[in-house]
Amino acid sequence: MTLLEITLLAPLVGGLLLVFIGHRPLGGWINVATCAVTFGASLAMALDVFAHGPQLSSGRMFYIDAFNVYLVILTAFVGMTSAIFSRPYMRHEVERGRVTDRRLRLYHSMYQCFIFSMLLALSTNNLGILWVAMEAATLTTVLLVSLYRTPEAIEAAWKYFILCGVGIAQALFGTVLVYFAAENKLGAERDDTMLWTVLHGAGAGILDPAVVTLAFVFLLVGYGTKVGLVPLHNWLPDAHSEGPTPMSAVLSGLLLNVALYSLVRVKMLVDASLQTNLAGHLMMGFGLLSFMVAGLFLHRQHDIKRMYSYSSIEHMGLMTFAFGMGVPLATYGALLHMTVHSLTKSAIFVTVGHASQLAGTQRIDRIRGLIRTQPAIGWGLLIGTVAIAGFPPFGVFISEFLLLVATMQSWPWLAIPLLVGFGVAFAGLFRNLQPMVFGEPPPGQKPVEANMLPVAVHLLLVLWLGLSIPAFLSGWFEQATLLISGALPR
């Protein structure tokens, strides 16, 4: 059995097993152990790819290169640390009566199925299977969002299902158009016209430009909905605020990355076919719009999880803008930003979950004095917000600085809205953070059992990436940059 097969089968088998025992105390440990096996296999596979180059499975259905291998290991790592957090968190939700044993079993099973869907989307070589995996991720997330079965949770789940369902339908039509363009040029007798390696290698340069352009528009709308790009972003704040907090950590830290990865893969095909940057310009427009709008909406939030979900939209817009530019420095910065944003935002949502349990509510105006009642939670929220706001010496500062420099080199006049957006987002975060952390705690607020280990590990990694990027990680980013943009950053 190959390392890739272990990486994919571990969460799938774990999800099936947890259908039967996920409600027991042992279920949480099995969830953690399954994620640990997945992470170990993905780490070994990543080292093998780094040493020997891209790997194509025997049936050519799976392809691992420098671009997706680091996202696979990032997904497995954040999935593991979030599972460590979710074990005591979900038991506490059962004790509070918010989750029954039956729903806890559903949660643990769907958690692993969600991880499997994302890993399948990242590793597949077939654009059709990529769409199927994204749809599977949508369905598993719907069940997680509606876990509490409150009217608000049901509404959020339906909103998520309808918006992402419409979006994924657009992505399906775009995928069909890609197949149509490939079949016309490569021949109907071939059975490999949906393989990315075939399209990007032998076939990408001869695909019909008109059909490929139309296909990208549909794919941008479809996968862009999953990324959370404005104006199709409305599902994301509701899904974050009404679903269980561990789901918010993996949703914001992982699923958005997978959707953006899918979009970038398609952009590479379009760029090769059109020999223009039309796809990049569209991504830059939607990315910058999302970045600016989300920064403004940060000022209007009253729910702590909704506030940080708009921060996710802001950062995904920034990454989409950077990949749209297409220059090597921007691509390198976007890859780094995907990593540090995933680590930081998942750590923040872990802290937010504990803060909500401590205050008994998610309303910002009722969460006060965290650093006095429970310093670990208060400091975790403060440092996490400082990191995601782009303060040095954290890794988010480095990635945003690289993106700003790339913008000044390629599109100097767009550096002004970027700087304004950074300032608006900074103000939106810290106007609410100060009273939550340093305010007067309400009477009767008592400490809760908090597992801050995932937060500490994530924030230390983000700090490390801000001080020094390891050579092996920089090598992955450089190889991925060369693959995406055709050149190395200078």
> The tokens of 198 are what?
């075939």
Going by pLDDT thresholds of 50, 70 and 90, the confidence category of residue 374 is confident
More confident site: 57 or 465: 465
pLDDT tens-digit readout, 277-315: 888 999 999 999 999 999 999 888 888 888 999 999 999
Cα gap 293→302, rounded to integer Å: 17
Q: What's the pLDDT tens digit per position in 112-158?
A: 999 999 999 999 998 999 999 998 988 898 888 888 888 888 888 88
Share of the chain above pLDDT 90, in %: 39
Q: What is the pLDDT of residue 204?
A: 55
pLDDT reported for residue 273? 81
Burial 145-162 (b: 16+ CB within 10 A, else e): bbbbeeeebeebbbbbbe
- The helix/strand/coil state of 63 is strand
Average pLDDT over residues 53-66: 83
Q: Report whether 364 contacts 357 (CB < 8 A).
A: no
pLDDT at residue 114, as a whole number? 92
The confidence band for 1, taking pLDDT boundaries of 50, 70 and 90, is low
- N residues, the chain: 490
Asked if residue 487 has pLDDT above 60, the reply is yes
Please count the CA atoms within 13 angstroms of the CA of 469 that sit on its side-chain side.
19
Categorize the per-residue pLDDT at 187 as very low, low, confident or very high, splitting at 50, 70 and 90: low
Tens digits of residue pLDDT in 189-211: 666 778 888 887 765 566 778 88
pLDDT surpassing 90 at residue 40: yes
pLDDT value of position 205:
62
How far apart, in whole angstroms, are the C-alpha atoms of residue 126 and residue 131?
A: 9
C-alpha to C-alpha distance for 386 and 288, rounded to whole angstroms: 22
pLDDT of residue 191: 66
Most confident of 59-63, 207-211, 216-220, 299-303: 216-220
Predicted local confidence at residue 462, as pLDDT:
94
| Range of lowest pLDDT (270-279, 309-318, 346-355) | 270-279
- The whole-angstrom separation of Cα 432 and Cα 172 is 40
Alpha-carbon distance of 341 to 74, in angstroms, equals 11
Q: Can you give the pLDDT at residue 188?
A: 61
Q: What is the pTM of this model?
A: 0.93
* Displacement of CA 43 from its chain's centroid (Å): 19
Helix 278-297, helix 256-274: angle, nearest 10: 150
Query: Does the pLDDT value for residue 228 go beyond 70?
Result: yes
